[in-house]
């Protein structure tokens, strides 16, 4: 943690809690009308903690314990279509079991907010962190926000409600955090007061409710060649809209809560020669490495995309195009032979850019394999070698794997 952050945090009232508990507290303060969910490690503690709030009468949410994650998302779709503010949570195979209805939720433009604790997809069975679950759902039509720490989990869930329900977006949102690394580690969290949060998110008002019998509507009808294409176009247009609307929502959030959220976050990048791009908790480790390298005279920097969907291509290119070499770190393997999901998106965006620094990919941390500071330092050393040599030897590397 940086010195200024330490001084700032020292003046705040902090409460020790895990990332899962932080998510549950945000949900309690949002007080959704309905939460339908099924337990799965390492997400279980979110709904378990939230269910305790319901049992203790601290929130009046209708909590629906269902028989599977497919049922959970199905219940959420019905709830949201009826006009209820709706939330849920899941991980890994649970998200995979939702697959059919995850797409339906986005295609019917329902502003469901789902906390996803990132966990590796089977097989083999693994309960630890990588991003294969949400990266697998990157084309489902959901907005995706990636959180570095528990404080960001808490704040991103609050802003996600406002984003999802905005009249020019109306798309569901996944708020992601790293399984066990963030979800089960205890941190000092600053909580906002209930009233400020309620005032910020406002009331959810649906334009067309399934319960409005005087103005009947249908959600998810059979839609063949006559209108399907147009509805997909509208959905795509909503995601494009989100790129311009989200910064306005975040600006309002920042003003209300005294924060500094954005589509992306840069760290010592403006004067850097070499830089890495990393999501979620890995960004925190990278900062410590950068500080050490800067003391040695190495101009290293970091770009942390916060939103992966919509993909903020222009902002990312503006941030990294001046670098001599870029290393993109993916905690997921796309099995495309073209690198990980984040790498392929950034490399594609770079195609029309006038400035094209060499860009290489590091796939790391699959199944919860630890990423240590020395691993990230190795990445920067390799980027320095590429800068000096002026050419790339290996486009895609597997960091920390036993060969």
CB atoms within 10 A of CB 315: 18
Residues of the chain with CATH 3.40.50.970: 3-257
**pLDDT for residue 12:** 76
- CATH 3.40.50.920 in the chain, residues? 264-398
Helix (H) or strand (E) holding 275: strand 274-277
For the chain, the average pLDDT equals 96
Which bin fits 303, alpha (ψ -120 to 50), beta or left (φ > 0)?
Answer: beta
CATH topology of domain 264-398: Rossmann fold (3.40.50)
pLDDT (0 to 100) of residue 221? 87
pLDDT, position 10: 56
- Judge whether residue 49 has pLDDT over 80: yes
pLDDT computed for residue 340 by the predictor: 98
- The pLDDT value recorded for residue 6 is 56
Q: What does the pLDDT read at residue 90? A: 98
Burial of 282 (0-12, 13-18, 19+ CB in 10 A): buried
What does pTM read for this prediction? 0.96
pLDDT tens per residue across span 321-367:
999 999 999 999 999 999 999 999 999 999 989 999 999 999 999 99
| 349 Cβ contact list (under 8 Å, min separation 6) | 311, 313, 316, 317
What is the tens place of the pLDDT at every residue in 369-390? Answer: 999 999 999 999 999 999 999 9
CATH superfamily entry for domain 3-257: Thiamin diphosphate (ThDP)-binding fold, Pyr/PP domains (3.40.50.970)
């Amino acid at each position: 943690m940086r010195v200024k952050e330490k001084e700032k945090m020292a003046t705040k009232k902090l409460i020790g809690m895990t990332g899962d508990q932080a998510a549950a507290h945000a949900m309690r303060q949002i007080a959704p009308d309905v939460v339908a969910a099924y337990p799965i490690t390492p997400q279980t503690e979110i709904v378990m903690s939230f269910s305790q709030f319901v049992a203790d009468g601290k929130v009046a949410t209708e909590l629906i314990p269902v028989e599977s994650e497919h049922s959970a998302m199905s219940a959420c779709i019905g709830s949201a279509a009826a006009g209820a503010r709706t939330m849920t949570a899941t991980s890994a195979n649970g998200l995979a079991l939702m697959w059919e209805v995850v797409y339906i939720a986005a295609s019917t433009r329902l502003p469901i907010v789902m906390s996803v604790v990132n966990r590796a997809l089977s097989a083999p069975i693994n309960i630890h962190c990588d991003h294969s679950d949400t990266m697998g759902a990157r084309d489902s039509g959901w907005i995706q926000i990636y959180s570095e720490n528990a404080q960001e989990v808490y704040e991103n869930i609050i802003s996600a409600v406002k984003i999802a329900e905005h009249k020019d977006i109306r798309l569901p949102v996944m708020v992601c955090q790293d399984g066990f690394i963030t979800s089960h580690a205890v941190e000092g969290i600053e909580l906002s007061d209930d009233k400020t949060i309620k005032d910020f998110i406002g009331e959810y008002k649906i334009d067309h409710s399934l319960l409005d019998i005087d103005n009947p509507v249908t959600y998810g009808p059979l839609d063949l060649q006559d209108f399907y294409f147009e509805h997909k176009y509208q959905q795509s247009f909503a995601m494009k809209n989100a790129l311009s609307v989200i910064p306005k929502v975040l600006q309002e959030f920042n003003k209300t809560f005294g924060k500094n959220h954005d589509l992306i976050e840069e760290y010592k990048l403006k004067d850097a020669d070499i830089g890495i791009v990393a999501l979620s908790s890995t960004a925190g480790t990278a900062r410590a490495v950068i500080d050490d390298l800067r003391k040695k005279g190495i101009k290293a920097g970091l770009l942390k995309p916060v939103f992966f969907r919509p993909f903020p291509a222009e902002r990312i290119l503006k941030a990294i195009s001046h670098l001599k070499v870029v290393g993109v770190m993916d905690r997921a393997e796309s099995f495309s032979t073209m690198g990980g999901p984040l790498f392929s998106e950034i490399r594609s965006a770079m195609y029309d850019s006038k400035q094209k620094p060499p860009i290489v990919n590091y796939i790391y941390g699959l199944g919860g394999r630890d990423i240590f500071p020395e691993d990230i330092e190795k990445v920067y050393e390799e980027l320095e070698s590429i800068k000096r040599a002026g050419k790339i030897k290996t486009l895609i590397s597997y960091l920390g794997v036993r060969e």
